[in-house]
Structure 1
Amino acid sequence: MWQHLFADAVTTIQEGFPEAYSGSAIEDSGVWVSFAGKAPQGALDVLTKLPADVEVRQDAGWTEVDIRAMGEEIHHSTRALEGVADVSTSIDTNLGRIAVVTEVEAGTPAAAVRTESLAVASSVEDHRADTARSDLEGIAVEVTAVKADAGGFDALYGGAKLTTSSGGYCTAGFSVGSASYSQGLMTAAHCSNSLSYGSKALTYRGGSSTRDVQWHSGGGTTAAKFYVGTTTLKTITSYHNPTSGTTVCKYGRKTGGSCDRVSTLNQCRGQYCGLTSVLLRQAAPGDSGGPWYYGNAGYGIHSGYITLSGARRDVFTPLRSAASTLGVTVKTS
């Protein structure tokens, strides 16, 4: 399948040439990959093995690694400002744009918060410009102050697949394992740390304060399969990094299955960054932690939603990033 081949190639370049890779996308007019400067020969060799032409864009100026680091620092620094209820940050590595939406607490002047946010962004820009390995001068930073409701998570204090003692529930993601615990399941970090799979209590093994993922062991053997329906299982054979334009599908215990296309990467919402957004909002509370996939390839762990350009969009944590953060291996067949 062409999409999987392209995703695999992009993943190889992202992980093999982080000092050069800038961005990539699947568009109606074709596919492309961009680099901060001249494309490394090794990266070009990866692309020439694909069965279709890929446009190579050079001299973007910035790398994905550097713009993501700058955007996340701006995001977390802005969250610490007085009068800020929460922050959503869109880090567009393809366009070289960081858009910060600051949610203002009731009674706090939005203009004052925006001014402080701009000062924070400027300070971070200066700091990153001195330490980054690529050129960040072309990055555009936008700051907007709004009333609350920029995003949220899809966990319920209700009941279903991965349940809590109070009846709340999330959705199990992909099967994982580590050197110490070979049988595990991944889900979203904002879900409870005390979860059960049916009548079997799971053991919390670790999570993250900056990426919306955690994992648990126990409950029995976990296989390289995941639900795409109430009783329908699908085998996972590979997992890739998403790119703009990638078709992906999600499954959650609240809303079931639906498909969409990746809109933007490297989003931040609240304490969590590294989120990928799609075009629509189709999930609901209870879907958190569920799998994002296409065919037999895994792409991510569902988080919730973010508001971009006035529209709510579902977001997920890319699966490769999730596994790396947790120090686990995703089971494939």
Structure 2
Amino acid sequence: MNPPYEGASSVSRTSRKFRVLRRRGLIFVAPAALIGGLLVAAPAAAQPESESDVIVLAADQQAQIARPTLDAIKAEATQRGVPLEAALDEYLSGARMSLTAELEPDGPADTPEVSVDDLTAGELEDLRLIGAQDGISFEEAVAAHGWQGAFNDVADEIEASYGTEFSGAARSQDGKSAWFAFKGEVPEGAVALARKLPVEVKLQGGRGFTEADLEQASLTARDQVAAKPEVAGVATWYDIETGTIGVGVQLQPSIARDASAIERVTPPQPQIPGVGLAVSLMDEVAAPEDKYIRGGGLYSGCTAGFNLKYKSSNTKRQGTAGHCARGSAGANQTYSNHSQAGGSTTIKRVWKHEGRYGDLAYYTTGSKTPTRTFYHNWNKTRYATERGGRPRRGTRICHFGMTTGGSCASVANSVVNVGDIEGMVQMDRNVSAPGDSGGPWFYGGTAYGVHYGKVGGKSTFTPTLRFDAARDYQVWIK
């Protein structure tokens, strides 16, 4: 049972200082200094190695994240002979006592709104799940993926500063390196930003195209293939590192076994230097998982994603997948909380879209009061604290669905298009099943998307930023 907020004043704040504010960016400071709970070592002034159009920043000359609080918890766990996870749970339980109603405005969530050094409690939970899925220890998961928030921030800043030259960004699957690419020369400012990351970074110049070029070429290929009478379905994406446009084609049933048909449906190669095209036949291009519906809570057959707030008013809506709201069956839904909270209400469809902005819908919130929390696993709530952008390749993200529960995967392709549905994100594997549609994709408290289904057999979602682009609604965050 969560302690009442009134009890927080009885806890000494001098014995343990709990971080309750979100911290993400790396800070360059002298090794002996501690600022905002995050200690990093300043990199040496050595010049980066350069060969051809590639600049390599060696890991041992990059800013290194120090986690003194986590190290202290680890040392205490070793001394007591208990697992690190158990000691961390104990620490977070104590940290909860320092929270106030201002820090948890919608009441206590199961995951407390606190940080351990640069990592929020929500991120630490997700790193445990990632470690368990990958067969590595929690400590190894923190080392490999604990810096990905900083990576996405750096990637966003580089794209914002050098958008007309930006050609992509990616993390390696093992979490040991990062990669950034540019149409022409690597900007000096991008090198400076990349030095903030605690791993080896490769900055590749001279690609001859931007990521925007790849996205447009992908849409052009989709339209060309969709116009062919032999085609029953088509999906397109692009490999950000190789510059290859992928085209998945599902043929009409009458010629489904005609391998020669692929020649008739293959579009022309893109007229962009360095960009290629690869076509493959698929038995099933896409399978939206619309068993029924729900969000973090439960509908009568999908999964609800995140609560939304209109940008210029206090209007709240509940977001989910567009295909979950189809037809008369999707006009009204019965929303239910998970079993420990209980209760249900009727919600009504306000808007549905399957097209340019992805696969999205939102409903009224019925008779219940909307909150900024979401279910990240069965009967487990967490605050949404950040609105995620379009996640880069290699970023680990988790999701919750009514069929599969909680699971995580890595981003394979940041932009994938299926038929008329554009701009979704494809993961590197399938971790979902029918009934998960509409459910939240997240990392820590960052809201990344709502689940669509599978594209090419891999889990796929629509980024939550598309609600904003289409209708001026944003994930409601704390």
**Counterpart of 1:275?**
424
**Counterpart of 1:316?**
461
1:182 aligns with 2:315: yes
**Counterpart of 2:331?**
194
Alignment coverage as a number of residue pairs: 312
TM-score, scaled relative to structure 2 = 0.60
Unaligned runs of at least 5 residues, structure 2:
1-118, 120-146, 336-343
Task: Give the C-alpha shift of residue 182 in structure 1.
Answer: 2.2
Moved more, 52-61 or 89-98: 52-61
Q: 1:322 to 1:63 in 2, by over 3 A?
A: farther
TM-score, scaled relative to structure 1 = 0.84
8 A Cα contact 2:447 2:475, kept in partner? no
**Counterpart of 2:273?**
137
1:222 aligns with 2:370: yes
CA RMSD, aligned part only? 2.5
Give percent identity, aligned residues only: 28
**Counterpart of 1:132?**
none
CA distance in 1, matches of 2:293, 2:361: 20
**Counterpart of 1:23?**
168
Q: 1:1-333 counterparts in 2 under 5 A? A: 1=119, 2-27=147-172, 28=174, 29-50=176-197, 54-108=201-255, 110=258, 113-118=261-266, 120-122=267-269, 125=270, 129=271, 136-146=272-282, 148-157=283-292, 161=297, 163=299, 167=300, 169-178=301-310, 179-180=312-313, 182-192=315-325, 193-196=330-333, 197=335, 198-210=344-356, 211-219=358-366, 220-238=368-386, 239-307=388-456, 312-333=457-478
Q: 1:230 to 1:4 in 2, by over 3 A?
A: same
One-letter amino acid of the structure 2 residue matched with residue 173 of structure 1? G
8 A Cα contact 1:4 1:297, kept in partner? no
Q: 1:206 to 1:40 in 2, by over 3 A?
A: farther
One-letter amino acid of the structure 2 residue matched with residue 213 of structure 1? L
8 A Cα contact 2:385 2:477, kept in partner? yes
Does 1 or 2 have the higher relative contact order (CA < 8 Å, sep 6+)? Answer: 1
Q: 1:64 to 1:325 in 2, by over 3 A?
A: farther
Moved more, 231-240 or 191-200: 191-200
CA distance in 2, matches of 1:243, 1:255: 24
8 A Cα contact 1:8 1:240, kept in partner? no
CA distance in 1, matches of 2:331, 2:298: 9
8 A Cα contact 1:226 1:234, kept in partner? yes
SS of 1:12's equivalent in the other structure is helix
Q: 1:322 to 1:72 in 2, by over 3 A?
A: farther
Unaligned runs of at least 5 residues, structure 1:
130-135
Q: 1:205 to 1:16 in 2, by over 3 A?
A: farther
1:308-329 Cα shifts (integer Å, max 9, x gaps):
xxxx211112233443334222
Flag the structure with higher strand content. 1
CA distance in 1, matches of 2:346, 2:242: 47
Q: 1:139 to 1:182 in 2, by over 3 A?
A: same
CA distance in 2, matches of 1:16, 1:276: 23
Q: 1:269 to 1:205 in 2, by over 3 A?
A: closer
Task: Give the C-alpha shift of residue 215 in structure 1.
Answer: 2.3
Q: 1:158 to 1:207 in 2, by over 3 A?
A: closer
CA distance in 2, matches of 1:65, 1:257: 33
SS of 1:94's equivalent in the other structure is coil
CA distance in 1, matches of 2:470, 2:197: 29
CA distance in 1, matches of 2:318, 2:190: 34
**Counterpart of 2:65?**
none
CA distance in 2, matches of 1:180, 1:203: 19
8 A Cα contact 1:10 1:241, kept in partner? no
CA distance in 1, matches of 2:265, 2:395: 33
CA distance in 1, matches of 2:200, 2:287: 39
Q: 1:263 to 1:58 in 2, by over 3 A?
A: same
